[in-house]
Structure 1
Amino acid sequence: MPKIRFADVNFRRLGAPERYEVEDRLKKFLANFRAERHPARSLRHIPAEDRDKIERRVVAYFEAVHRASGMGHLDRSDREKMEAFRGGVDLIEIKSEHQADEIASALHTEMPWMAAATERVWHDLRSSVRRGDAGPRISPLLLLGPPGIGKSHWARLLGEHIGVPTTTIEATSEPASFVVSGSQRGWSSAEPGKAVQSVMASKIANPVIVVDEIDKAGSPQSTSGRSFDLAEGLLPLLERTTAQGWACPYFRVKFDMSWIIWVLTANSLQGLTQPFLSRCPPLELPSLSLDHLKGFAAREGARRGLPMDAVDAVQEVIDAIRQPQLLSLRNVLRLLDAVEVTFHQPVLH
């Protein structure tokens, strides 16, 4: 599994002496040096003036070390957080075109109505293998379609089949750009964005980041009139050239975010700007049919190990649906959840 340098910083060598150790060494050196030059005199005691000089030099040395590391502006707790990136982070790779074919086949088998998205990913995966990329280069995806067809579910399956973690950002509940990019130090709620947090927690450079219902994010503004539009905040992360050296507002360090797999979902294009759409052209997806839902129920029920009669009962409920607004993957998953709970609950004696 290849590793990449994710953070543009230099880490101190493991086992390098701490400040108090350097200070102690200098004091011992000075005492021994003077004792050797003047053996008849007792100079083991270091005067206060010399101790102050040593302390100033030690402070200057460590300030220079921190400046050279690119983390001199960070406090100790944030430097400790950055240790997650020491030695680089893992990049999950696709080793062959055959593996790319298997991933696409599995996605299409489970969710055939998402064929447009699956085909895009399939071509990107195969192209990455042919180019010899260190990991899969998947262009940002904007899945456009009616609610309830499983756009977010498909994104999670994509992460599972590639073997990377998935983080979901709900644009309706977290509409500001802070959730993606993070916020500067000084804010009471300052923290890194969820994309950086995902890499930090998993130490994997190419997680799937889902931004759900990006069209409903709105454009929050500060009291001074400054806009914190979520879609605008995504722009530098969706462009590979800028994502390679993206400056994190929280850490004020550059990270290589170019391997992240972005999947954005929307029910309409209303409110999405042309610069945003040029970075991730929308893929239009169809509504679900009864056959789609029944097929999904059969496959998902089998995956969960549910008995056939239980799956048949769920399919009968789907057949009985007459209201189009209830034809959603979400409702089928809820039915399967209820059946699974009933099937696995203990027998009372």
Structure 2
Amino acid sequence: MEPQHPSSPARTGRRRIVKRLKVIQLIEQKEIGDPEKVRRRLRDFLFDRRIDRLARAAHGKRFSEVSTVANGDEIARLEHEALLKRVDEERIRARVEKLFSRRAAASATSHLSKTEITKLQAARGDIPVAVAKSEAWADEVAARLHQEAPWLASATEVLWHSLRRSARLGEPIKISPLIINGPPGVGKTRLAKRFAELVSVPSVGLDASTGSPGFSIVGLERGWGSAQPGRPVEMILESRMANGIVVVDEICKAKSAESKKGTAFSFYDALLSLLEPESARRWECPFYRVSFDMSHLSWIFTSNDVDLVQPTVKSRCTVVHVRALTPLELQDFAIRRGRELSLSDASIEAIIVALIHAQDRLNRRISLRDVSRMLARAQDLESRPIFQ
């Protein structure tokens, strides 16, 4: 069933953050402040203890009681004898260093730089998650998506029902792992990112067919020259939101690689630990070596041939098939997008004429990518200065 849309575009509005969740699993430690302040507190404590002991030995009273009745010379003598020696200072310094080193080790951050610790602390504790405002709001979002790309109705329907479920149960917005399968250039990736935009959650795009397999997802552990966190972790830390959307293009072309030492790196193996809810709840980042709760992320994959997707991944996903655009739908898209870009009527008309004749000239199917290139070219031409 295709979502019905009103005659005029619905205003989806912004989401309300109504829940907060803990994502970074650091051992909570009582804050003990700056090392220099701790040193001063220890010095003051030792001095007070020592001068009280001297006062009790001489007068049988605490120094605060003696100081109210003793003469100035006696007070000065007690203070001088209670002064800390160099050996006392060294003992305090060593104790403070030991205290802070143990605290860092206990919080699992001793291997991190100050910049990295600051990044983690910014998202430490409870961070926001987006929740659907209402089922009616979910209907409006789905209507907007369907209005913009009716040929992707089967994928829009899955997103629609997931959003309604979130609203009905009051749970964070989350899409169960989804594979959108269909011909290239029909807007599969655009749909996923547009959905993230409409529900106001962050998104990150990955390409399974290029780059180092798996590294972009899980990151690369320390000890490698190019060590870095994975893109999903970076998205959480930068956006400080727990339920973003990871869009993985061309999952059907995912590759494996092998290092010079014979170590295998599989895109699918890296992915499975994040797709399984149990392992995702306490997923350890190879770079930060800290546990993250990644179970609130949504995963949307695109493919051109779902039969090439590894069964272990495909079995964990909902698969929907989408069709190619008709010539009329391509023209409608060009008109709507051209107006959004403020192109002149003459430019839009020229693009429509080109689309009508392009199929025969190119002897292949015209896709949204072709239309987008035409629109970009027209925008570039219209922005050029006019020479006299």
Higher mean displacement: 199-208 or 181-190: 199-208
**1:6 & 1:324 partners in 2: Cα distance?**
51
How many Å apart are 1:147 and its aligned residue?
1.3
Match of 2:98 in 1: 60
Match of 1:18 in 2: 34
CA contact (8 A) 2:181 2:305 kept: yes
**2:385 & 2:298 partners in 1: Cα distance?**
41
Higher mean displacement: 212-221 or 114-123: 212-221
Match of 1:302 in 2: 339
For the residue of structure 1 that corresponds to 2:373, the secondary structure is: helix
Is 1:105 matched up with 2:143? yes
Q: In the alignment, which of 312, 337, 345 is matched to residue 376 of structure 2?
A: 337
Instruction: Could you tell me which runs of 5 or more consecutive residues in structure 1 were left unpaired when the two chains were aligned.
Output: none
Q: In the alignment, which of 206, 216, 225 is matched to residue 253 of structure 2?
A: 216
**2:91 & 2:42 partners in 1: Cα distance?**
10
Is 1:287 matched up with 2:303? no
CA contact (8 A) 1:103 1:162 kept: yes
**1:242 & 1:307 partners in 2: Cα distance?**
53
CA contact (8 A) 1:11 1:86 kept: no
**1:344 & 1:11 partners in 2: Cα distance?**
55
CA contact (8 A) 2:277 2:295 kept: yes
The structure whose residues are more often strand, as a share, is 2
Higher mean displacement: 167-176 or 328-337: 167-176
For the residue of structure 1 that corresponds to 2:206, the secondary structure is: strand
CA contact (8 A) 2:176 2:318 kept: no
> Among the aligned pairs, what percent are the same residue?
34
Match of 1:6 in 2: 23
**1:235 & 1:330 partners in 2: Cα distance?**
31
Is 1:131 matched up with 2:147? no
For the residue of structure 1 that corresponds to 2:302, the secondary structure is: strand
Whichever residue aligns with residue 384 of structure 2, its letter is Q
Greater C-alpha radius of gyration: 2
Is 1:254 matched up with 2:271? no
Q: In the alignment, which of 203, 211, 236 is matched to residue 199 of structure 1?
A: 236
CA contact (8 A) 1:237 1:257 kept: yes
- TM-score norm. by structure 2 comes to 0.83
**1:345 & 1:68 partners in 2: Cα distance?**
60
For the residue of structure 1 that corresponds to 2:24, the secondary structure is: coil
**1:84 & 1:173 partners in 2: Cα distance?**
31
Task: From the superposition, tell whether residues 212 and 198 of structure 1 become closer, same or farther in structure 2 (CA, over 3 Å).
Answer: same
For the residue of structure 2 that corresponds to 1:127, the secondary structure is: helix
Match of 1:30 in 2: 46
How many Å apart are 1:122 and its aligned residue?
0.5
Is 1:146 matched up with 2:163? no
Instruction: Could you tell me which runs of 5 or more consecutive residues in structure 2 were left unpaired when the two chains were aligned.
Output: 1-16, 55-74
CA contact (8 A) 2:132 2:163 kept: yes
Match of 1:43 in 2: 81
Residue deviations 1:34-89 (CA, integer Å, cap 9, x gap): 23433534235423332232223223322343344343443433212212213432
Higher mean displacement: 71-80 or 157-166: 71-80
CA contact (8 A) 1:174 1:217 kept: no
Give the root-mean-square deviation of aligned CA atoms. Answer: 2.2
CA contact (8 A) 1:31 1:43 kept: no
**2:364 & 2:188 partners in 1: Cα distance?**
16
CA contact (8 A) 2:131 2:170 kept: no
How many Å apart are 1:172 and its aligned residue?
2.4
Whichever residue aligns with residue 379 of structure 2, its letter is E
CA contact (8 A) 2:246 2:297 kept: yes
For the residue of structure 2 that corresponds to 1:220, the secondary structure is: strand
Whichever residue aligns with residue 191 of structure 1, its letter is Q
How many Å apart are 1:12 and its aligned residue?
5.9
**2:286 & 2:263 partners in 1: Cα distance?**
16
**2:51 & 2:292 partners in 1: Cα distance?**
51
How many Å apart are 1:306 and its aligned residue?
2.5
**1:250 & 1:150 partners in 2: Cα distance?**
33
**1:153 & 1:171 partners in 2: Cα distance?**
16
Higher mean displacement: 265-274 or 202-211: 265-274
Is 1:85 matched up with 2:123? yes
Task: From the superposition, tell whether residues 138 and 276 of structure 1 become closer, same or farther in structure 2 (CA, over 3 Å).
Answer: same
CA contact (8 A) 2:23 2:125 kept: no
For the residue of structure 1 that corresponds to 2:274, the secondary structure is: helix
CA contact (8 A) 2:174 2:243 kept: no
Whichever residue aligns with residue 60 of structure 1, its letter is K
Task: From the superposition, tell whether residues 324 and 232 of structure 1 become closer, same or farther in structure 2 (CA, over 3 Å).
Answer: farther
Task: From the superposition, tell whether residues 174 and 110 of structure 1 become closer, same or farther in structure 2 (CA, over 3 Å).
Answer: same
Whichever residue aligns with residue 253 of structure 1, its letter is V
Aligned length: 347
Whichever residue aligns with residue 181 of structure 1, its letter is V
